[in-house]
Amino acid sequence: MRKKDGRRGLWLLGALLLIAAALFGVSAATQPASAAGGAGEIAFVPNPVVRAGLGLFRPVTVGVLPELSGAPAGVPTGASSSPTAIDLGTLGGSSSFAEALNARGQVVGISDTAVNGASHAFSWTKQGGMADLGTLGGNFSLAIAVNERGMAVGDASTADGSIHASSWTKQGGIVDLGTFGGSVAFANAVSENGQVVGTSGTPGDVSTHAFSWTKQSGMVDLGTIGGNFSSASEVNGRGQVVGDTIIVDNSARTHAFLWTRQGGMVDLGTLGGSTSRASAVNERGEVAGTSSTSGDAATHAFFWTRKDGMIDLGALGGSISLASALNERGQAVGLSYLAGDTATHAFSWTRKGGMVDLGTLGGSSSIAFAVNERGKVVGESSLAGDTGTHAFSWTRKGGIVDLGTLGGSTSAAFAVNERGEAAGYSSPVGDNPFHATFWKNRG
């Protein structure tokens, strides 16, 4: 189960882009709006940095890449074989967003409800449609990842306004995974074995620690490497957990880590700079993420193995590249700035082929969010003239393909399963509001 839940990678990308902005002075206007603000609809979407700092949520603009010009663009191909976009509807409210997808075509995410101000996690299947996963007594819940057994994880509000990590199954309903005594905890990923990882506040919310949760052990504190913050972003079936941790209290110096029950938390280091983050781990224990380089001169995607350590994936001419997802073959995907650091293109990296520019759908910018085991990549790209943004898929043989929309000008694909189906969101005719979308293969 690697990177079918690409939305979690999206939040990490948002956080990493903000770090890059702090290091290099890159303005929010040059960030993909899925990670920062831009012109478009305002939606209530969890913010990665706020989550990490135990805050709640802030409104951000979703789904409109920056209107940039002058960057080379790829040529979209294979439009005739584009999947069919299916509107998943809502839970009675105006908007919904799909966050993750499993191989059976189960989609999870968040939707507005008929109750003003209430947004609930949902699970959608072709047979059952959209089901409300409920809350822990409050008015909010979110499903951020789902495994092949149908176990969804995320977070939900309680009656007293706290946010707790939560899980959901069809048989057991919603389950409170608790906190470390603080008021906020978030689940970020789930393995095929049902191991859940995320981050939680400690008593008094004085610090934030990564956690691992299992039905047998409950919530286990993964600790830190010297600082007062850690967050777990991904877990594989072997119980290897990755994320990032502050190494000195109250500083911005975070290092990527790998945690195992036997070895505890291990610092993966950096590419010579002060900061690194791990965003994905596959079943081989290979890790992908992002790190600053020597002297913090640049921020580059990395690939880590126990044998070779941290490998710099480079960039597409600019000073920043970010890895968001990784499959079992060691293929990493994400985004890279082009020369001049004004436009971003999605990339795919392998040991054999290096970093490959996936191009765009005719516009100036693109970003890759997820990749399946067959190497199919999905993401979001601007159109010719930067008149809109559409979800795309990419394969080595077929190139970049426009997945289309529900009739509006905007869509983005955050997740892809082994059948090549994708999930995300799209605008209908009139561009307001966004609805969760499932792209089904034709035929």
Q: Provide φ and ψ at 151, rounded to 5°.
A: -80, 120
- 264-287 pLDDT, tens per residue? 999 999 999 999 999 999 999 999
Closest by CA to 363, choosing from 77, 80, 76, 81, is 76
pLDDT surpasses 50 at 185: yes
Q: What CA–CA distance (Å, rounded) separates 369 from 378?
A: 6
Q: What CA–CA distance (Å, rounded) separates 88 from 98?
A: 9
Cα 442 to chain center, whole Å?
26
What are the residue boundaries of the structural domains of the chain, listed by start?
Answer: 6-440
Residue 81 binned pLDDT confidence (cut-offs 50, 70, 90): low
Closest by CA to 17, choosing from 27, 7, 8, is 27
> Do 66 and 38 meet the contact criterion of CB atoms below 8 Å apart?
yes
Q: What CA–CA distance (Å, rounded) separates 212 from 392?
A: 33
Query: Tokens in use for 37?
Result: 């603000």
pLDDT of residue 74: 39
- 401-433 pLDDT, tens per residue? 999 999 999 999 999 999 999 999 999 998 889
Q: Hey, what amino acid is at 28?
A: A
pLDDT surpasses 70 at 42: no
pTM, whole model, 2 decimals? 0.86
Residue 234 binned pLDDT confidence (cut-offs 50, 70, 90): very high
pLDDT of residue 307: 97
pLDDT of residue 76: 46
Distances (CA, A) of 273 to 144, 266, 278, 299, 334: 31, 18, 15, 9, 20
Omega before 433 within 30 of 0, i.e. cis: yes
- 117-168 pLDDT, tens per residue? 899 999 999 999 999 999 999 999 999 999 999 999 999 999 999 999 999 9
Q: Provide φ and ψ at 428, rounded to 5°.
A: -80, -175
Q: What CA–CA distance (Å, rounded) separates 261 from 104?
A: 30
Can you tell me the mean pLDDT for 239-247? 97
Per CATH, the number for 6-440 is: 2.130.10.150
Can you tell me the mean pLDDT for 384-404? 96
Query: Tokens in use for 423?
Result: 């999930």
pLDDT surpasses 60 at 331: yes
Can you tell me the mean pLDDT for 353-358? 98
| Lowest-confidence region among 68-82, 137-151, 295-309 | 68-82
Residue 441 binned pLDDT confidence (cut-offs 50, 70, 90): confident
Closest by CA to 107, choosing from 434, 443, 428, 421, is 421
pLDDT of residue 77: 43
Can you tell me the mean pLDDT for 159-180? 97
